[in-house]
Amino acid sequence: MSPMVGAMTLPRSRVVDALFVLVVLVTGLGEIWVPFDSRQGDGNLAAATLEVAVAASALWWRRTHPVRSLTVILAALFLPQLVAPGFLLFFGHFVPICIAVFSVARHGTGRQRWVGAGLTAAAFSYGNLSVELLGGLTEILYHWGVLAVCFSVGWWQAAMSHRAEESRRQAIRAEVEAAEQAARAVLEERTRIARELHDIVAHAMGVMVVQAGAAEQVIDDDPERVRKTLNTIRETGTEALGEMRRLVTVLRDDSEVGLLAPQPGLDGLEELVDDAKLSGLPVELTVSGDRRDLPAGVDLAAYRIIQEALTNTIKHAGPVPTRVTVAYGSDDLTLEIVDDGRNQSGSGDGHGLVGMRERVRVYGGELEAHARNGHGFVVRARIPLGS
């Protein structure tokens, strides 16, 4: 599936918000016009319809702007009471307020939660004192009790969600650290083996040089000895060539499938993004400009930069929304990887960024890597494509 398809699909949470708006609107209008037994008091039908429509519509922003949504609902339902008494509705008035109070506790920050709680307390205190139908002890206990339950449930769900997200991030970090330790152990072992094989090859080459010198000294006087010497050189060279092949095999990365296999490039970028998504990282890919063949080195460098940036995001920020942009210019290639993470500890000090800078520097390009206003991290690279 193309990465852009996921970006164009309406998130499930927004579908739920739309259903909330529709259900509350239809139920509230039915309560006014049918009317339901829950409608109390006297009022203007048109004014009540407008109140319910505004309150229901404000629920669309209950996740993204919970305090703003609650404020609009409280204003739409209580401010008209200052002008003239109107209908008191359970489904059209109280239910939207309960949903908004829950949303403030569930989706708001610490300060937003207390602001929302204060606004709700002020609005209902005014209602209990000024609206006759809301002044009874039973009404007061019922309304304040239900609102307290809604707020508590929302707070509890937010705490559970935060705990689950933190556990997921810790699991990802532990997995990445374990993979790094395993890779480091493999690298150390390969280095040791390579050093040993290097000594073997160096010794074999030394033997070949000595034997060749000896053969040169007796080439005219003892042809048989020369023949044996050349045979020794051939056998030693064959052994050295075998050890050299083993040395190359030890130093070769396991991800390489063979000497004749092509190195990765931007043609494999979609597959790289899909792999990142399977790892839990929500990535959005955008490619602009005239896509064309690049020099092999530049193509590989661009791929590795994006790969390393996504790896750093998973390691340091966890599964946060990430945007990858590749822009083909007339004389340069621009890469931008931006994530919305909050924890950027160590993002700018690892070997990954050092490798990125070296790859860009080889081609005379530029690299920026820094925190984004305290919220997220950005890696931006520009690689010239001219001669």
Q: Residue 244: pLDDT band by 50, 70, 90 thresholds?
A: low
Average pLDDT, the chain: 80
Instruction: Check whether 372 has a pLDDT greater than 90.
Output: no
pLDDT at site 206: 67
Domain ranges of the chain: 3-135, 173-251, 266-384
d(CA 339, CA 322): 4
Containing 97, the helix (H) or strand (E) segment is: helix 95-107
Q: What is the pLDDT of residues 165-183, one digit of tens each?
A: 888 888 888 888 888 887 7
What Cα–Cα distance (Å) separates residue 31 from each residue in 54, 90, 97, 239? 15, 8, 16, 93
CB 369, CB 379: distance < 8 Å:
yes
pLDDT at site 260: 40
What residues contact 110, with CB distance under 8 A and at least 6 apart?
Answer: none
Instruction: Check whether 188 has a pLDDT greater than 80.
Output: no
10 Å CB burial of residue 366 (0-12, 13-18, 19+) is middle
E strands of the chain, at which residues?
Answer: 283-289, 322-328, 332-339, 366-371, 377-384
Q: Domain 266-384: which CATH class?
A: alpha beta
Q: Domain 173-251: which CATH class?
A: mainly alpha
Whether omega for the bond prior to residue 3 falls within 30 degrees of 0, making it cis, is: no
At residue 18, the 3 state secondary structure works out as: helix
Instruction: Check whether 8 has a pLDDT greater than 50.
Output: no
Strands 366-371 and 377-384: antiparallel
Weakest-pLDDT range from 43-57, 126-140, 222-236, 348-362: 348-362
173-251 and 266-384 share one fold: no
Q: Residue 256: pLDDT band by 50, 70, 90 thresholds?
A: very low
What strands lie across the sheet with 322-328, from one edge to the other? 283-289, 322-328, 332-339, 377-384, 366-371
Instruction: Check whether 139 has a pLDDT greater than 90.
Output: no
pLDDT at site 192: 63
Instruction: Check whether 40 has a pLDDT greater than 70.
Output: yes
The structure's pTM equals 0.49
What is the radius of gyration, based on Cα positions, of the chain? 35
The more confidently predicted of residues 110 and 262 is 110
pLDDT at site 298: 81
CB 70, CB 116: distance < 8 Å:
yes
What Cα–Cα distance (Å) separates residue 296 from each residue in 166, 265, 312, 383? 41, 8, 24, 13
Q: Which of the 8 DSSP states describes residue 288?
A: E
